[in-house]
Structure 1
Amino acid sequence: MRGSGLAGWNPRRLRLMLGLFFVALAIPAGLLIHQAFGHLKWAAFRQHQLLAEELAARIDARLRDIVSAEEAHAVADYGFLVATRDGAGTVPQRSPLARYPVSTALPGLVGHFQVDAAGAMTTPLVPPRGGDAPDLGIAPDELAGRTALEARIRRILTDNRLVQTDRIEADAMPEGPMPGGGRDKESAGSALSALQKATPEVERALPQAAFDRLSEIDASPTREQKTQARSTLGRIEDLNLDERFQQAAPAAPPTTEGLRSREQQDDSQPEQGLAPKEGRVPAMAGSAAPGPAGMPEPTADAAAPAVNLFETEVEPFRMSLLDSGHFVLFRPVRQDGQRLIQGVLIEQRPFLGVGIEDAFRETLLSQTTDLVVAWDGDVLAAYPSQASRGYLSSADELRGALLLRTRLSAPLQGMELLFSVGRLPAAPGAHLLYWLAAALVVILVGGIYLIYRLGLRQIALARQQQDFVSAVSHELKTPLTSIRMYGELLREGWVPEEKRTTYYAYIHDESERLSRLIDNVLQLARMTRNDLRLHLRTVSAGELMELTRSKVTSRVERAGFTLDIACGAQAAAAVVSVDEDAFTQILINLVDNAVKFSADAEPKRVDIGCRLADRGMLVFWVRDYGPGVPPAQMRKIFRLFYRIDGGLARETAGTGIGLALVRQLAEAMGGTVDVVNREPGAELRLCVPVSTGATTVSDA
C-alpha cells in the first residue's frame, strides 16, 4: 500500500472501505460454510435414515417370524386334543396350544381361542365339556388356573364385542337337566334363539361379523373415544414432527424385502387333519407314565378312539387392535362347510417391548433417535433416545425431524414405525469444518484489523511525508534566502566594514545549518535503502566532548544560550568504539532539539556531559531547561516524521527526522537513546558500551 495513494484518505473512509471489503468476503464465505454444514447435516440425516430402514426391516422380519410361528399351527391345534397317526393307528395327544402355563414364545400371549359359526367360544386350554380332567392328566389346581384364564379370554372378547354375552352364557351352561325338563343343548339352543331376537339384525345373521369389521377402516363417531382407550399419546397428527427432510428427500427404496401384500395373502390354503369325534373322550390308562405332552401314554390294550377326518380351507392371519388395547391375531377357517374364527389375544406392552423396543435398544440409532409406534394412526408407544428423558407423557413432547415413516408387512400392515431425530450427531468431517470455519473467521477478522491498523499508519505516514516535504522546503529555503541576501549585500558593498565579519559568520552558520539538514536527509535516504555504512574506531570520551564543543558552541551562543560541558576525569578517560561523524551528528541533533524546544525557557542554558553507568556503559547526555516531554509521547518522539503535538511544536521549525536519525545511528553503533524529564526540562541520553578494541568497519 503506497503512502502517496492514501494521502487524501481519512480513518472514516478507511473503515468504510474495509467494512465493505469484509462484507464482500464474509457473505460468500458464510454461504459456503452454510452450504457445507447443510450437506454434512443431510449426509448425517441420510446415514441415520438408512440405519432406520435397516432396523425397520429387522423389526418387520422379527414380527413376521412370530406370525409365521402362529400360522404353522394346524386347525386341529385349537382343540384340547389332537389325533396323530403312528404305526398302530391314531393316538390322542394334547394340542401344542393346550400347554399351561402358556408358552412364552409369543411375547405378551394371553391365550388362544376359537369361535364357531354360532358364536360360541372355546379355548384349547380347557378340555371339552363333560371330559374327565383327572383322566386327562389335569390336576384340580391346574384346572382352576386354566378355567380362570379361559374366563379372562372370554371377558376380553366380550368387552370388545367380539363374542356375544348370551352365546357365552349358553356355551357355559353345564350339561344336565334344564328347568322345564329339557336337556342342555336343546335348552341352550332355545335360549340362544330367544336372545338372538333381541340383538341387532346384522349380529343375528352373522355372529362372527365383529371379526370381519376389525379389518375395516373405522370412521365412526366413537373414533376419538377409541383412540383415548387405546393410547394416551393421541394421534400421529398431534405429533410435532418436522417433515421438511421427508419432503425434500428423494423417494427411498422399500425398507423391507419380500413384504407380502394383503391381496397376496387372501388366498385360502387347503388343509387336512384328524380330531377326536365330538363327545368321545379317549380312554387313558391311569397307571401309565405321562407322555411328553404332560398326559398319560396310551396303553396297548386301550381302545382306539374314534376320529374325524376333516378338510379345511385356512385363510391368512389378520391382526387388529382392540378397544381394550389388546392385539388380536385371527384367521377365518372353513371346515366341513362351517366357518370358524381361530385366533390369539396378545398383550400390547410386552409384544411391542420384545418385538420392537428390544431391537431398537440394541442399535446405535437409539442414542439419538426417537421411535414412535402407531396403529391405524393411534400412537401406541414412544421410545425416546438416550439423549432424551426416559418418559414421555403427551404427544406435545414428541418433536424432531421425521427420519422415516414406514408400515410393516401383512398382517401387521396397520402398524407404523416413525423414527424422528431430535439432535443429529456431528457427521464425519464436521469437526474439521468447525475448525476451518473458526480459523476462517479469525483470519478474516484479524486480517481486516491488521489492514486497518496498517492503513492508519500509512495514512499518518503519508501526512507526515507531506509535512516533511513542506518542512524540508521551508528549512532549505530559509538559510538559502539568508545566504543570498547577505551575499548580495556584501557583493554590492552596502555593508559597513565593522559588520562584514558578522555577516560572514551568519553566512557560515546558515551554510552549516543547511549542510546538517542535507546530511540528515542523505542519511535518511541511506537508512531507507539499508545502505548505511559506519566506520567505528576507538576514541576516548574526552576527545568526543572536545569535538562536540567545537561543533555546537557557536550554534548555541548565537541562539542566546549558554553552553555548559562537564565530563569527569574517569568518564573522560573511558574509551568507546564509535563513528566520529555519526556521533557528532547525534550530539548536534540533540543540541538543536534542546535549543529549539526551550527557546522561551529561563534560564537559556544547555548542558552537555558524560558519565560512567552500570554494566560497562558510557552515558552522554544533553539537557535543556524547557517544558519537557509529555510522558505519553516519550517513546513516540524517536519515530520518523513524528513531532510533539501542541502550540510549541507548531511554532517551531523542524522536519521530524532528527531524533529518528539519532535513534537509528545509536543502534547502528550498538548503543541506545532515551529521554527523561527533569525539573525543569528534559534530558536526552545516548548510551554506548565502553570498549578498547581496534578500528573496525560496520555495515548497518
Structure 2
Amino acid sequence: MGHGNRLTGLDPTRLRRWLLLFFLALLIPSGVLIRQSYSQLKWEAFHQYRLQAEALSARIDDRLRRLVNSEENRRFSDYAFLVVSGDPGAGFLQRSALSNYPVDSSVPGVIGYFQVDDTGRFSTPLLPAEPEQATRYGIATDEVNRRLALHERLQQILGENRLVRSNGSGRDRTPSGKEVEQTPGEPSPGVPAVGLSDSGSGSAMEAERADQPQAAFDRLTEKFSKRQQAQAPAATAQLGRVEDLKLDRRFESRLAGEQVVAPAEEQQRGAQRSVRKERGVLPVPAPVVDADQAVRPPASQAGVRIHTFESELDPFEFSLLDSGHLVLFRKVWRDGRRLVQGLLIERQPFLQATVADLFRESALSGMSELTLAYRGDLFSTFRGKNAQGYYSRAEELSGALLYRNRLAAPLSEMELIYSIRQLPAGPGGRLVLWVAATLLLVLCGGFYLLYRLGLRQIELARQQQDFVSAISHELKTPLTSIRMYGEMLREGWASEEKKRSYYDYIHDESERLTRLINNVLQLARMTRNGLVLECRPAGVTELLDGIRSKIASAVERAGFELRLQVDEAAAGAVVKIDSDSFSQIMINLVDNALKFSRGAAIRRIDITAALERDNRLVFTVRDYGPGVPRDQMKKIFRLFYRSENEPTRETIGTGIGLALVSQLATAMGGRVEVINQRPGAAFRVIFPVCASP
C-alpha cells in the first residue's frame, strides 16, 4: 500500500522530470566518453595524415632539389652558343647544349635560358654573337626566326619585370631578309645583346640601374618588409596573405613542440650550398662551321683563339616575378666581372609537374588541399580529386591546418600549406559513431518505455485507489441498508404492508453483493492466471432462458422492461462456451445498462441473438441511455477504468465489470464491442458458431 501511495503522489510531470534527470545522468557521461574516444581517433588520424603530408613534402622538395642540382651542374660556358669540347689545346668547337631549339631542359615549363653581363647586355645561347651567321651553323632560316622570336620574348618578360631593357616597336630585318617588329631606339632582333639605359623611364631608379645594371636581380632576393608585402603585386598574391587563412589550428596547436618550417636536415642541406669554382674555355671569336659538324683540325691550328679562365659560380637563387613567371638565376664571377645566368619558367606547367602531379597521386588528395605561398602571399591552390570549382580569396579556404613546410634553398621562400576540409576518423571512428547512435537509440527507447510504464503504473495505482474507495462504498451502502431493514423487521417496527418491500430490498441488495463478490473473485482468479473455463456446446435458446431467470426480477424492480428476441437463423445455433462465464457476462452488461440509463426516457433493456455472416453468433444488450462517448469506447473495457471521477461520480460500480466481460469473452474465443445507437448504446458479444441449423 505504501508503494501505491508513492505512485499516486507522482504525477506525469514529475515522472517526466525524474526520468529526464535519469536520462541525462546516463547520456552526459556516455556522450563525454564517446566524444573523447572520437577526438582521440581523429587525433590519431591527424597524425597519420600529417606523416603523409611530411612524406609528400619531402618528395616534392627532393624533386625540386634534383632539378635545381641539374642546373647547378651546368658550366658557365654552357650559356654561350659555341663551346670547346675536349682538351683546350686540341678540342673541338661545337654548339652548346643550351642552344637546342625547342629548348631542351629537365625543368618543366622552361621558356629559355639567358645571360646578362655587367654592362646589362642581354644574350641567350639560342643565337651566336652575330645572328646573321646563324644559318652558317646549320640552322634553317625559319628556325632562326623562331629563335629570334623566343629571344625577344625572353627579353620582353625580363624587361616587363625591370630586369633588362625590353624591346619597343619598329621593324628590322632578320638574316633571311624577312621584316619583323622592332622597337625604336632598340637594336634589331638580330642583335642578341642589349644594354640598359635610363631612356624612357625618367626615374632615379632607372638612373641607378644604368649605373648598376644587375641591381634588379639583387633586389629580387631581398627580404620584404611588411609594408612592401602589403603592396605586393596582385600577380604574386592572388588569394591574399597566409594570415588571412581561416583554418582551424586546434590540432596544429597541440604539436607546439614540432617544427612548422623546414626541418633541420633540410636547412643544413640549404646551408651546404656554396660558391663553386671551375676552369672554363671559350672561343674568341667562334669560327663558322658546317651544319652539325665540329671544326677540325684542333682550334689552335684553325686560327681560333681559345680563352681559358677561372670563374666562381654562386648557388642558384629563385624568385617569383611580378608578371607571374618564375626565374632561377645565379651570379657568376669571371675576370673580376659579374654576370647573371638563369632561366625563365612558366609557373603553371612548372608547379603542375613538380607539385600538383605528386599531390594528386598521393592519398592526401582525397581529403585535403595544398596551397602554395611565396613570401607570405598565397598564389596557387591545388584542390583534391573530388573537389570542384576554384578559390578566389583566402577566406574561402576552410578546414583544419594539417601541415606547413618551407622548401629547401633556393626555394626557401616558398611554403607548402596542407589543409583538410573534413578530417576523417577512419574505421574506428565509424564504429564509435555506430556505438553512439545505438546507445542514443537505446536510451531514448528506454526513456520512452519507462515513461509509458510509469504512466501506466500511476494510472493503475490511481484506479486501484478508486477501486478500493468504490468497493468500500459498494459494500458499505447495501450492508448498512440490509442491517437497518433487518433490525426493523426483527424489532417488529415494520407493518405487514412494508415487510414485503423490505424483504425484496434485502434480497436485491444481497444479489448485488453476490455479483460484486463474484466479480472480485473472478478478477482475483484471472490475475493469478488461475481461471479455468469449461467450454461446452450450448444452444442459444437454452442460454437466453437461463439469463432471463437471473436478470428478469432485477430489471423489473429497477423499473425497466426486459425484451429478449432470437432470430430464426440463430434459434438452433450452438456455441461452445462456459455457461457460468456467459451468464456473468450478460449479468454485468445488463447491470451496466441499468446503471447508465436510469434517467432515460425509454426504460427498456433489449437482449437479442442474431446469426451474422461468416457464421458468427452475436448477442446484443442495448439500452436507451446517453450512450458512450467516442473517446471512451476502448477505454471502458480497461480494468478499473471509470468514465467519472471518484469524488464526483453519480453512478455506482467498481470499474471491473466491463473489464471482466472483455476478458471472459476473449477467454472463450469471442470478443466484445460497443456501438452507439440513437439513443443508447449496444454491447455486442460475438462468438463463433460450432453448429448451426
Give the Cα–Cα distance (whole angstroms) in 2 for the partners of residues 560 and 477 of structure 1: 24
Q: Which amino acid aligns with 1:98?
A: S
Instruction: Say whether 1:127 aligns with 2:122.
Output: no
Does structure 2 conserve the Cα–Cα contact (< 8 Å) formed by 1:618 and 1:690?
yes
Partner of 2:222: 216
Distance 1:480 1:87, change over 3 A: same
How many positions carry a matched residue from both structures?
Answer: 656
Alignment of 1:197-236 (within 5 A): 208-219=214-225, 223-228=229-234, 230-236=236-242
Distance 1:242 1:576, change over 3 A: closer
Does structure 2 conserve the Cα–Cα contact (< 8 Å) formed by 1:524 and 1:661?
yes
User: Structure 1 residues 634-643 or 366-375, which shifts more?
Assistant: 366-375
1:158 deviation in Å? 4.7
Partner of 1:415: 414
Instruction: Say whether 1:95 aligns with 2:92.
Output: no
User: Structure 1 residues 452-461 or 111-120, which shifts more?
Assistant: 111-120
Partner of 2:186: none
Distance 1:585 1:57, change over 3 A: same
Give the Cα–Cα distance (whole angstroms) in 1 for the partners of residues 103 and 684 of structure 2: 107
1:517 deviation in Å? 1.1
Q: Which amino acid aligns with 1:62?
A: R
Q: Which amino acid aligns with 2:312?
A: E
Secondary structure in 2 matching 1:374 = strand
Partner of 1:76: 77
Give the Cα–Cα distance (whole angstroms) in 2 for the partners of residues 648 and 313 of structure 1: 114
Does structure 1 conserve the Cα–Cα contact (< 8 Å) formed by 2:77 and 2:83?
yes
Does structure 1 conserve the Cα–Cα contact (< 8 Å) formed by 2:88 and 2:306?
no
Does structure 1 conserve the Cα–Cα contact (< 8 Å) formed by 2:133 and 2:288?
no
Partner of 1:265: 272
Identity of aligned residues (%): 52
Secondary structure in 2 matching 1:342 = strand
TM-score normalised by L of structure 2: 0.83
Secondary structure in 1 matching 2:687 = strand
Alignment of 1:407-556 (within 5 A): 407-424=406-423, 427-496=426-495, 499-500=498-499, 502-556=501-555
Distance 1:556 1:309, change over 3 A: same
Partner of 1:698: none
Partner of 2:189: none
1:566 deviation in Å? 3.3
1:532 deviation in Å? 0.5
Give the Cα–Cα distance (whole angstroms) in 2 for the partners of residues 689 and 444 of structure 1: 45
Give the Cα–Cα distance (whole angstroms) in 1 for the partners of residues 42 and 130 of structure 2: 66
Instruction: Say whether 1:56 aligns with 2:57.
Output: yes
Unaligned 5+ segments in structure 1 are 167-187, 193-197, 694-700
Alignment of 1:517-666 (within 5 A): 517-567=516-566, 571-645=570-644, 650-666=649-665
Give the Cα–Cα distance (whole angstroms) in 2 for the partners of residues 438 and 336 of structure 1: 78
Give the Cα–Cα distance (whole angstroms) in 2 for the partners of residues 486 and 420 of structure 1: 98
1:322 deviation in Å? 3.2
Instruction: Say whether 1:348 aligns with 2:347.
Output: yes
Q: Which amino acid aligns with 2:126?
A: L
User: Structure 1 residues 505-514 or 76-85, which shifts more?
Assistant: 505-514
Give the Cα–Cα distance (whole angstroms) in 2 for the partners of residues 274 and 659 of structure 1: 122
Give the Cα–Cα distance (whole angstroms) in 1 for the partners of residues 166 and 352 of structure 2: 32
Give the Cα–Cα distance (whole angstroms) in 1 for the partners of residues 298 and 216 of structure 2: 47
Does structure 1 conserve the Cα–Cα contact (< 8 Å) formed by 2:523 and 2:660?
yes
Secondary structure in 1 matching 2:534 = strand
Distance 1:556 1:216, change over 3 A: same
Secondary structure in 1 matching 2:427 = coil
Q: Which amino acid aligns with 1:56?
A: S
Give the Cα–Cα distance (whole angstroms) in 2 for the partners of residues 588 and 220 of structure 1: 101
Give the Cα–Cα distance (whole angstroms) in 1 for the partners of residues 226 and 596 of structure 2: 105
Give the Cα–Cα distance (whole angstroms) in 2 for the partners of residues 94 and 57 of structure 1: 37
Secondary structure in 2 matching 1:456 = helix
1:471 deviation in Å? 0.9
1:248 deviation in Å? 3.1
Partner of 1:174: none
Give the Cα–Cα distance (whole angstroms) in 2 for the partners of residues 682 and 130 of structure 1: 120
Distance 1:120 1:624, change over 3 A: closer
The Cα offsets for residues 389-439 of structure 1, whole Å up to 9 and x where unpaired, read as 434334444444332221111111111122223444574355555554444
Partner of 1:12: 13
The Cα offsets for residues 117-175 of structure 1, whole Å up to 9 and x where unpaired, read as 55544432222359943443334444444344444444444554545799xxxxxxxxx
Q: Which amino acid aligns with 1:351?
A: F
Q: Which amino acid aligns with 1:322?
A: L
Does structure 2 conserve the Cα–Cα contact (< 8 Å) formed by 1:270 and 1:313?
yes
1:531 deviation in Å? 0.8
Q: Which amino acid aligns with 2:369?
A: D
The Cα offsets for residues 566-599 of structure 1, whole Å up to 9 and x where unpaired, read as 3356634333222222122122212211221222
Partner of 1:404: 403
Distance 1:150 1:692, change over 3 A: closer
Does structure 1 conserve the Cα–Cα contact (< 8 Å) formed by 2:93 and 2:294?
no
User: Structure 1 residues 628-637 or 427-436, which shifts more?
Assistant: 427-436
Alignment of 1:169-208 (within 5 A): 208=214
Give the Cα–Cα distance (whole angstroms) in 2 for the partners of residues 445 and 579 of structure 1: 45
Give the Cα–Cα distance (whole angstroms) in 2 for the partners of residues 633 and 131 of structure 1: 113
TM-score normalised by L of structure 1: 0.83
Q: Which amino acid aligns with 1:273?
A: G
Does structure 2 conserve the Cα–Cα contact (< 8 Å) formed by 1:372 and 1:379?
yes
Give the Cα–Cα distance (whole angstroms) in 1 for the partners of residues 570 and 394 of structure 2: 94
1:44 deviation in Å? 4.7
Give the Cα–Cα distance (whole angstroms) in 2 for the partners of residues 106 and 365 of structure 1: 25
Give the Cα–Cα distance (whole angstroms) in 2 for the partners of residues 49 and 614 of structure 1: 78
Partner of 2:112: 111
Distance 1:96 1:612, change over 3 A: same
Instruction: Say whether 1:248 aligns with 2:254.
Output: yes
1:634 deviation in Å? 2.2
Does structure 2 conserve the Cα–Cα contact (< 8 Å) formed by 1:520 and 1:657?
yes
User: Structure 1 residues 400-409 or 250-259, which shifts more?
Assistant: 250-259
Q: Which amino acid aligns with 2:680?
A: G
User: Structure 1 residues 587-596 or 364-373, which shifts more?
Assistant: 364-373
Secondary structure in 2 matching 1:359 = helix
Give the Cα–Cα distance (whole angstroms) in 2 for the partners of residues 466 and 199 of structure 1: 104
Q: Which amino acid aligns with 1:52?
A: A
User: Structure 1 residues 435-444 or 52-61, which shifts more?
Assistant: 435-444
Partner of 1:180: none
1:306 deviation in Å? 4.3
The Cα offsets for residues 431-490 of structure 1, whole Å up to 9 and x where unpaired, read as 555554444444434433333333333222221111110111111112222332333334
Q: Which amino acid aligns with 2:100?
A: R
Secondary structure in 1 matching 2:233 = helix
Superposed CA RMSD? 3.7
